[in-house]
Amino acid sequence: MKITDTSDLWWKNAVVYCLDVETYLDWNGDGVGDFVGLANRIDYLAELGVTCLWLMPFYPTPDRDDGYDILDFYGVDPRLGHFGDLVEVIRIARDRGIRVIADLVINHTSDRHPWFRAARSSRDSPYRDYYVWRDEPLDDGEPVFPDQESSNWELDEKTGQYYQHVFYKHQPDLNITNPLVRDEIAKIMGFWLQLGLSGFRVDAVPFLLDESGVVGGSELLPDPHAYLRSLRSFLGRRSGDGVLLGEVNLERAEQEQFFGGAEGDELTMQFDFISMQNLYLSLARQDAGPLVEALLSRPVGSPDSQWANFVRNHDELTLDKLSDAEREEVFAAFGPEERMQVYGRGLVRRLPPMLDGDPRRIRLVYSLLFSMPGTPVLFYGEEIGMGENLDAEGRMAVRTPMQWTSGPNGGFSTARPSRLRNALVSGGYGPEHVNVETQRRDPDSLYSFIRMLVQHYRNAPELGWGEFTVLEGTPSSVLAHTLSWDGRTVLLVHNFSATPVDVPLALDRELAGCRVNRLLGAEAGRQPFADPLSLDDAGRTTVPLEGYGFEWLRVIAPGDELQY
């Protein structure tokens, strides 16, 4: 095995876990999660098998966009602790083999950031050009948050010009055509790398690079992708293991560009928004087709680049890349009520309630998350099957406190419930029914299942590194694929339908004479086959699947003793 590659390009088979310190564990009982609480849960993350922790924004903030509105890029919000606490978290995580990355939010600042306060004090301020100003607003499309904003431009009364804000009006956009802003961004990145971060989840990358709002923008910065390349090379100079994991919810051709094509010199990783959306369409239709098509449409880039797979993140579950009719199908299946939908394009629910708590389907989805080509990203609480709080405002529905125990506040905090900023989930998905303490002791729990998937994912580097092939000739409800790397192959088979099915599998002819055995074992309620299946002269076999069933199988060459 190419040991050197797998450790240097660690992101190719990482297990990423995203959390917000504020909602993870409150150690000092003030109702707000903190870094000391997180430090005390690093061993929990290590036990789960996490290898990369993604911290959502923890910087000083007025908190009008859950921390994505930053007041000071060089600080820690005092509600969460101080620098010493953060450094302990990074150190303890490292010690347990977990790298830490954090959100890099450089498309905009809070309107209370000192740069913007200075910028709006006068047209002559040295900070004026840190932001994007126009005498007249552009008519440049639908705002990202149409429930609160009607334009991407806001008049600044005092100076009589409009500033650009593609998100909320309290988040003025930074102007990256200004070399001073680019210097500031480099300094911010350098600062956090020096403190021990292993890179960043880069917020809103396409918006960051879009300088069409800047007067003369295309002359000032003719090639915004060259700027992204320069950020990547700066990162590489400062940190040998740093990654840029970018949020790029665009069509495939544009995503290819954000990787830097075959050169792979822009983003290291990108979230696969398109496969995520089509996964839900496949689930709604009980038909693997949409997901298969989405996976096959991934551009082939540099072998060092990587897709990040996810089922849920902290935002709305966006369905914006589906057609209107497809989106309606997903809404009808998984979020028929208006309060479950947001911005006309997404859902505010978590997976288990959308699947009516059906353990077969929930496990099918997580089996896919860990066996589709790429790197899996978990959003905190997914490992125990947390639900959402539909009484919370919009996207806050899925940002409820982590459920550690069945006790008061789900073990998140000892504060009075009225002091918690985000209320806990109640009802069937509340902490009495869904919590870490109970599930850790139960070998049949979702937690134990996901932990087992993590172990197998880490033991089978083909899943992160392998060449992807979809097997043809299977029933439409089934996704059967192989991932091959370094001379070895794993075979993954998933049935989206409730109906059991015998799946004919036609592997590469070159594999004729090999045997096939189960990778997932007793932990998934099954045993290795007493007699491994044999591939016939044409490389074929048949695998039976239950309704919503799945198998992870390893192809064993004659004489290959290693069967896992």
Give the residues lining the site for ligand NOJ (CB under 6 A). Answer: 65, 68, 105, 167, 203-204, 247, 314-315
**Closest alpha carbon to 171 in 204, 125, 138:** 204
Cβ closest to ligand NOJ, residue 119 vs residue 204? 204
Minimum distance, C-beta of residue 347 to ligand NOJ, in the bound complex (Å)? 15
Cβ closest to ligand NOJ, residue 17 vs residue 548? 17
Cβ closest to ligand NOJ, residue 248 vs residue 446? 248
Q: Which alpha helices (DSSP H) does 252-358 contain, by range? A: 252-259, 273-285, 289-296, 324-334, 351-354
Minimum distance, C-beta of residue 392 to ligand NOJ, in the bound complex (Å)? 14
Cβ closest to ligand NOJ, residue 166 vs residue 545? 166
Q: HEC profile for 153-202?
A: EEEECCCCEEEECCCCCCCCEECCCCHHHHHHHHHHHHHHHHCCCCEEEE
Minimum distance, C-beta of residue 373 to ligand NOJ, in the bound complex (Å)? 24
Which residues participate in catalysis according to the annotation?
Answer: 203, 247
Cβ closest to ligand NOJ, residue 67 vs residue 242? 67
Minimum distance, C-beta of residue 68 to ligand NOJ, in the bound complex (Å)? 3
DSSP string spanning 411-461? GS-SS-GGG-SSPPP-GGGSTTTS-HHHHHH-TTSHHHHHHHHHHHHHH-T
Cβ closest to ligand NOJ, residue 204 vs residue 243? 204
Residue type, 129: D
**Closest alpha carbon to 277 in 257, 291, 259, 262:** 291
Minimum distance, C-beta of residue 25 to ligand NOJ, in the bound complex (Å)? 21
Q: HEC profile for 491-560?
A: EEEEECCCCCEEEEEECCHHHCCCEEEECCCHHHCCCCCCCCEECCCCCEEEEEECCCCEEEEEEECCCC
Minimum distance, C-beta of residue 149 to ligand NOJ, in the bound complex (Å)? 12
Would you say the C-alpha torsion 223, 229, 233, 235 has a positive or negative sign? positive
